[in-house]
Amino acid sequence: MDFGSINPVVLIASLMVAATPILLAAIGELVVEKAGVLNLGVEGMMIVGAVAGFAAAVTTGSPILGMLAAIIAGAAVSLIFALLTQVLMANQVASGLALTLFGLGFSALLGQSYVGIVPPRTEKLDFGPLSDLPVVGRILFGHDILVYVSLFVVAGVWYWLNYTRGGRVLRAVGENHDSAHALGYKVKRVRILAILFGGACAGLGGAYLSLVRVPQWTEGMTAGAGWIALALVVFASWKPWRVLAGAYLFGGIMVLQLNLQAAGYRIPVEYLAMSPYIITILVLVVMSSNRTRRTLAAPGSLGRSFHAAG
């Protein structure tokens, strides 16, 4: 394929960067949903992670500490959701939406004194001569640490869900919580831990936006990335590697259409620009129908509250 003046190597490298925030958030949400919990608060957890990571990085001068703070903040916010849905048995959809509204407002409040500050720079990892290799150097060895962390998390989640006892217990809880409970598994404990993991990943994804991708703090800066991450999980039919593919596809469409425009190609911009959102809506519509949900292999207990009976 002829890209003309667009360098495909640069394009691939930048789509990986563009996709990393939604990839991190989506892989976290995948684990949550595999445990049978639907947390619509991804956007809220992301933006709290974005502001917490930014604040910590600016205060300490270390992007790594900022990312750790984002992980903790994301998990802490998700704990509210865990408390509401797992302990107080609140409706998951409503609680998740509330979490998003809360996160957007709370982050705006926290971030007031951080507007207009430039964060410490997140350096690219130094692979020595490997980074200078043609093509693969820029694509494989030219990124900051979080791009590799996100790939590692995807691989880790895939392995853990499929090949470890803990992962299988989590899936059992998500498929049929009554049976899992009857077998003696702690349904709520598993779910709370999954929710915390989801929050941590979303927080980290948010911090990637505020520390690397943009890099600055602005109110509402996630601008819907959390919703795309949610749709991505369904789009990927709850399979980790497909989440990776989906995230890179979404990231790719976005970066590609911008690059095509910049290079002066005549493309139907409006359709390309809206395509991730259209796919998102379609996927959410499909997900809302029970029959298609089954064919998509959604976890059996997804979104249902668990009441221990007897």
Partner 1 sequence: MKRRELLATSAAALGLAATLGSKARAQTPLKVGFVYIGPPGDFGWTYAHDQARLAAQEHFGDAVETFYVDNVPEGPDAERIMTQMALSGANMIFATSFGYGPSLNAVAQRFPNIAFEHATGYLQEAPNVSLYNARFYEGRAVIGTIAGRMTQTNKIGYIASFPIPEVIMGINAAYIHAKKVNPDITLSVVWAYSWFDPAQEAAAAEALIEQGCDILMQHTDSTAPLSVAQQRGALAFGQASDMTQFAPDVHLTAIIDNWAPYYIKRIQEKLDGTWVADNVWSGIPEDEVTFAPFNDRIPAEVQDEANALIESIRDGSYHPFTGPLNRQDGSAWLAEGEVADDGTLLGMNFYVEGITGDIPN
Q: Which residues of the shown chain bind partner 1 in the complex (CB under 8 A)?
A: 5-7, 10, 14, 18, 21, 101-102, 104-106, 108-109, 111-112, 115-116, 118, 121, 209, 213-216, 218-221, 223-225, 254-255, 258-259, 261-264, 266, 268-270, 273-274
DSSP the chain: ---TTS-HHHHHHHHHHHHHHHHHHHHHHHHHHHTT---TTHHHHHHHHHHHHHHHHHHHS-HHHHHHHHHHHHHHHHHHHHIIIIIS---HHHHHHHHHHHHHHHHHHHGGGGTTPPPPP-PBP--GGGGGSTTHHHHHSSSBHHHHHHHHHHHHHHHHHHHSHHHHHHHHHHH-HHHHHHTT--HHHHHHHHHHHHHHHHHHHHHHIIIIIS-S--TTTTTTHHHHHHHHHHHTTT-HHHHHHHHHHHHHHHHHHHHHHHTT----HHHHHHHHHHHHHHHHHHHHSHHHHHHTT--TTTT-------
Distance CA 88, CA 309 (A): 16
Q: Which is nearer to partner 1, 21 or 142 (CB)?
A: 21
Minimum CB–partner distance for residue 288 and partner 1 (Å): 21
Minimum CB–partner distance for residue 216 and partner 1 (Å): 5
Minimum CB–partner distance for residue 153 and partner 1 (Å): 20
CB 151 within 8 A of CB 27: no
Minimum CB–partner distance for residue 56 and partner 1 (Å): 19
Q: Which is nearer to partner 1, 196 or 209 (CB)?
A: 209
Cβ burial of 96 (10 Å; 0-12, 13-18, 19+) is buried
Q: Which is nearer to partner 1, 80 or 298 (CB)?
A: 80
Minimum CB–partner distance for residue 104 and partner 1 (Å): 7
Minimum CB–partner distance for residue 47 and partner 1 (Å): 11
Q: Which is nearer to partner 1, 37 or 279 (CB)?
A: 279
Q: Which is nearer to partner 1, 14 or 86 (CB)?
A: 14
Q: What's the token pair of residue 79?
A: 């704990």
Q: Which is nearer to partner 1, 156 or 224 (CB)?
A: 224
Minimum CB–partner distance for residue 233 and partner 1 (Å): 20
Q: Which is nearer to partner 1, 263 or 297 (CB)?
A: 263
Q: Which is nearer to partner 1, 87 or 223 (CB)?
A: 223
Of 39, 38, 73, 36, the closest CA to residue 54 belongs to 73
Minimum CB–partner distance for residue 264 and partner 1 (Å): 6
**Angle CA(293)–CA(294)–CA(295) in degrees, nearest 5?**
95
Q: Which is nearer to partner 1, 38 or 225 (CB)?
A: 225
Minimum CB–partner distance for residue 209 and partner 1 (Å): 6
